[in-house]
Amino acid sequence: MPSPRFPIPQGTLDMLILQILALEPAHGYGVAQRLEQISRSVVQVNQGSLYPALHRLQQKGWLRAEWKQSETGREAKFYSLTPSGRRQLAVEKDSWARLCGAVNLIFEEGSR
């Protein structure tokens, strides 16, 4: 069965993770589930690439992590946004919007 979902564009995973964690802190599995839900199963995230991304963001100081009780009662590593992560999210949203605008402009130009 060919998947109707397309792979996530390069470089946008970080932004999506930041956006998800901006709503509330979550553990890795939670982020994966949320990603699927939010993107209504349109975007396909390779589960394996989630963890390197989380660790990269943490190392950059945009995320902080702590071990807490999860909803199942077991300890899980919860990630949350730091203030600098919040700023970074704003920057990325802004540049994403400008990129989309620019691409749309080109498309409209071509279709005219």
Partner 1 sequence: MIQLFNWFRRGSLERGLDRELQYHFERRVADLTAAGISEPEARRRVSGELGLTQVREEVRDVWLTRWFRDFFYDLRFSARSFLRSPGFTATTLLSLALGIGATTAIYSLVDQVILHALPVREPERLVLVDWNGDDPITYATGSFNLMPYPICRELQQQTRFLDGVLCRAEIEVNLTAGGDPRPVAAEIVSGSYFPVLGVGPALGRVIEPQDDAAPGAGPVVVLSYDFWQAQFGGAADIVGRKVLIGNHPMTVVGVAAAGFRGVDIGAVPAFWMPTSMCADANLDEDDLLNSPTRWLQILARLRSDVTLAQAQTGLQPWFKAWLQDSTLRPGFPRISADHRREYLATTLELTSAPQGHSVLRRNLAQPLWLLFAATGVLLGLACMNVAGLFLARGSARGREIGTRLALGASRGRIGRQLLADSLLLAVAGGVLGAAVALLAIRGLIAFLPHDLAANALSGALSLRLLTFAFFASVAAGLVSGLAPALHASGGSLVSSLRERAGTGFGGVRLRKCIVTLQVSFSLILLVVAALFLRTLTGLLAKGPGFDTSNLLSFAIAPTQNAYSDADASRLVRRLDEQLRTLPVASSSAAARFAFLTGGAWSNKVTIQTDRRTVSDGIINFNAVSPGFFSTLGVRVFAGRDFDKSDTLPVGEIGPRCAIVNQAFVKRYLAGRDPLGVLIARGGSSDVKPNSRIVGVVADMSYRGVRDNSEQVFFPLFAHDDTGATFYIKVRGAPEQAIPSIRRLVRQDDPRLPILWFRTLDDQVNRSLNTERLLAALSGSFGALALLLSLVGLYGVMSFVVTRRTREIGIRLALGATGASAIRLVLRDAVAMIAAGMAIALPCVAALGRLVQSQLFGVTATDPATVAAAALVLAAGALAAAFIPAWRASNVSPTDALRLE
Helices 12-23 & 83-111 angle (0-180, nearest 10): 130
Rounded Cα distance between 18 and 44, Å, is 17
Q: Report how far residue 9's alpha carbon sits from residue 27's, in angstroms, rounded to the nearest whole number.
A: 23
Identify the residue among 4, 72, 73, 108 touching partner 1 (CB under 8 A).
72
Q: Is 5 in the site for partner 1 (CB under 8 A)?
A: no
Which span sits near partner 1 by CB under 8 A: 13-21, 45-53, 80-88, 95-103? 45-53
Candidates 47, 69, 95, 104; binder of partner 1 (CB under 8 A) is 47
Please say whether the beta carbons of 100 and 108 come within 8 A.
Answer: no
Contacting residues toward partner 1, per CB under 8 A: 27-29, 32, 47-49, 51-52, 55-56, 59, 70, 72, 74-77
